[in-house]
Amino acid sequence: MAHLELNQQTIIECRKLANQIVAKVKTVIDVHTSVSIERAALRLIGVEGAIQKNGLNYPLVNEIVDQLRSDRVIAKGALYWFANGLLASGLETNELALKVGAGEIKLSQLDRASLTDIRKKAQELCKAALNRLKTKREERADLRKSQGDPFDTTWNGTPLKYVIVATGNIFEDAVQAKAAVEAGADAIAVIRSTAQSLLDYMPEGATTEGFGGTYATQENFKIIRKALDEAGEKAGRYIRLTNYSSGLCMSEIAAAAAIERLDFLLNDAMYGILFRDINMKRTLIDQNFSRMIIAYSDITIHTGEDNYLTTADAVENGHQVLASQFINERFALHAHMREDQMGLGHAAEMDPWHPNVLLLEIARAQMTRDIFPKSPIKFMPPTRHKVGDIFFSHLMDAMFNFVGVLTNQGIQLLGMPTEAMHTPLLQDRWMSIKNANYIFGAAKDLGKEITFKRDGTISKWANKVLDDTLVLLRKIDRDGLFKAIEDRAFANVSRSETGGKGLDGVVQKDKEYTNPFFELL
């Protein structure tokens, strides 16, 4: 494949700075937990179900953690109190959870076992939970082998065709997902209901009334996973499933996704900070634990740098995307993720009328591919400059697909001709997939046939973006990530360290804090 001549010393320096930036944040992450992490731990050990509260099916994990917060003892960790509760009561996991939820047992008032015994019991629970996740991981590997998986972990070849369904009704999503597979899709993303990221609980059960998407619930994961397994069996190839592990329930969604054998998760704290105004400490703490679960379960993340170019000019601010990718890479490595699990995101969002725009898009796409060679780069379609002209939108998507196959992107989210008009219909998605099928086949080996001029527009632009990235990372390293976000370092959006949603759910760990998942993962 063709490669750019990039300044390797600049790349090394960028990675060094990203490591320093993340190391400072890790000192905050390591001494804190969150209500989402504590609920995720309970979900992993098998606490399921809900109680009726204020007209809602309120999850048992929320009720348990709420009670511990109310009693001001959550700093020791939910697993500390739950493991002690199992020792004191002799009940099974869900029996104890139901009695706590019904108000029959208060965990903080039970007789206390020794810290040694509590931690031993908690470790038993966590080891059993991880064995269940390991079984799910092995099931996925076996299914990929039996159904046939054209995409190996080198992500080297024709981009994976990735499309969305977003009806609001999980059962209709399943129908549309199967239709997309028949048309040639390789991965299906179930778009999450608008603003679910701001809910501090995961809804229970199957849902049929989402807004702009479908609620992320464990039962919905199970339904769509079954549908795609059936579609994959019929199509003779494994189909990947995507959902969103972000927002105030980031860790819990990661746990539910691991249990239900999802393949991809949109998992990026920066997206929540910038575009959903979630407190930066809260979501960075949650991100670390969620990525530990994701790493163990062999799930691939997608990061959200593509969104930066919807609020910041894509020609002038490509360096913000690259700087964030370097930082995201380091956060993922700290959570024990492999490079081939990091679907680092970027997008083709430049003004289509900008001179030589195709060359500039090729420059940034090839630069990203070359700097992160083991990553299944996620390339996002043009959306910002679409206004309802379906013919021009379809042409823009065709050029986007051309850049994707030329530069060997790993995961290509296909654009829709009716972008900016309505949620895609079946025929819209069919047109989109046909477009990609043609271009991916027609230009399959083009990248092997060309080279980039060292002093050409493409190479010069890529190195300019890289140089600008180094300048930005030096500033972030000097000021700290929190201050840099406040100063609009990314997406031209400002957020404060103490602002945003969810800060009250951050808890400093007690010296007796117990959560063996951190050690075992």
Between the alpha carbon of residue 479 and those of residues 16, 51, 489, 497, the distances in Å are: 16, 46, 11, 13
DSSP-assigned states of every residue in 333-371: HHTT--GGGEE-EEE--S-TTSTTHHHHHHHHHHHHHHH
In the predicted model, what is the mean pLDDT of residues 145-174? 89
DSSP three-state, residue 214: strand
Q: For residue 174, which of 214, 224, 240 has the smallest C-alpha distance? A: 224
Give the pLDDT score at 107: 98
Active-site positions read 271, 306, 378
**Domains of the chain in sequence order:** 32-127 (no CATH), 155-458 (3.20.20.440)
Dihedral sign of CA atoms 59, 191, 279, 37 in order? positive
Task: Please list the alpha-helical segments (H only) found in 169-217.
Answer: 170-183
| pLDDT for residue 420 is more than 90 | no
Taking only the tens place, the pLDDT of each residue in 504-518 is: 999 999 999 999 999
Predicted model pTM: 0.96
At residue 414's C-alpha, the angle toward residues 490 and 266, to 5°, is 45
Q: For residue 274, which of 243, 299, 309 has the smallest C-alpha distance? A: 309
| pLDDT for residue 444 is more than 90 | yes
Give the pLDDT score at 15: 98
Give the pLDDT score at 405: 97
- Contact 262/241 with Cβ under 8 angstroms? yes
| pLDDT for residue 282 is more than 70 | yes
pLDDT category, 423, cuts 50, 70, 90?
confident
Which helix or strand (DSSP H or E) is residue 244 part of?
A: strand 240-244
Phi-psi region of 388 (alpha: psi -120 to 50; beta: other; left: phi over 0): left
Taking only the tens place, the pLDDT of each residue in 89-127 is: 999 999 999 999 999 999 999 999 999 999 999 999 999
Taking only the tens place, the pLDDT of each residue in 339-392 is: 999 999 999 999 999 999 999 999 999 999 999 999 999 999 999 999 989 999
Q: For residue 221, which of 278, 260, 187 has the smallest C-alpha distance? A: 260
Give the pLDDT score at 153: 67
| pLDDT for residue 481 is more than 70 | yes
**Burial group, residue 28, by CB count within 10 angstroms (0-12, 13-18, 19+):** middle
In the predicted model, what is the mean pLDDT of residues 235-263? 97
In the predicted model, what is the mean pLDDT of residues 390-419? 96
DSSP-assigned states of every residue in 299-337: PEEE--GGGHHHHS-TTT-HHHHHHHHHHHHHHHHHTT-
Task: List phi, psi (to 5°) of 59.
Answer: -60, 140
